[in-house]
A = this chain, B = another copy of it.
Amino acid sequence: MGRHSDNSLQESANHTVLLTSPTNTIPKDSRQRSQQFMQNLQDEICTALEQLDGKASFHQDHWERAEGGEGRTRVIREGRVFEQGGVNFSAVWGNSLPASILAQRPEAAGHEFFATGTSMVLHPRNPYVPTVHLNYRYFEAGPIWWFGGGADLTPYYAFKEDAVHFHQTLKNACDVHNPEYYPTFKRWCDEYFYLRHREEQRGIGGIFFDYQDASGKLYVESQTDSSVAIYSQKVGNVARNWEDIFAFVQSCGQAFLPAYLPIVERRQGIEYGDRQRNFQLYRRGRYVEFNLVYDRGTVFGLQTKGRTESILMSLPPLARWEYCYEPEAGSPEAELTEVFLQPRDWV
Contact = CB atoms under 8 A, between A and B. Distances in A.
Question: Which secondary structure characterizes the binding site on chain A?
Answer: mixed
Contacts of A198: 308
A272 interface: no
A335 interface: no
A150 interface: no
A289 B311 CA distance: 12
Given A86-B323, A288-B292, A319-B319, A302 B75 contact: no
Contact of A289 (B285, B292, B324): B292
A196 B315 CA distance: 18
A308 B197 contact: yes
A317 interface: yes
A318 interface: yes
A302 B197 contact: yes
A293 interface: yes
Nearest to A123: B321
A305 interface: yes
Interface residues of A, number: 32
A324 B307 CA distance: 11
A317 B318 contact: no
B84 A305 contact: no
A45 interface: no
Nearest to A320: B318
The listed residue with most B CB atoms (<10 A of its CB), out of A197, A292, A308, A316, is A197
A240 interface: no
A281 interface: yes
Given A285-B315, A302-B197, A305-B197, A323 B293 contact: no
A315 B311 CA distance: 21
21 contacts: A61-B324, A84-B323, A86-B323, A197-B305, A197-B308, A197-B311, A281-B318, A285-B315, A288-B292, A288-B319, A292-B292, A293-B302, A309-B324, A312-B321, A313-B323, A316-B321, A317-B320, A318-B321, A319-B319, A319-B320, A319-B321
Contacts of A320: 317-319
Contacts of A293: 292-293, 299, 302
A77 interface: yes
A328 interface: no
Contacts of A315: 285, 321
A225 interface: no
Given A293-B299, A309-B323, 4 more contacts: A61-B324, A281-B318, A293-B293, A293-B302
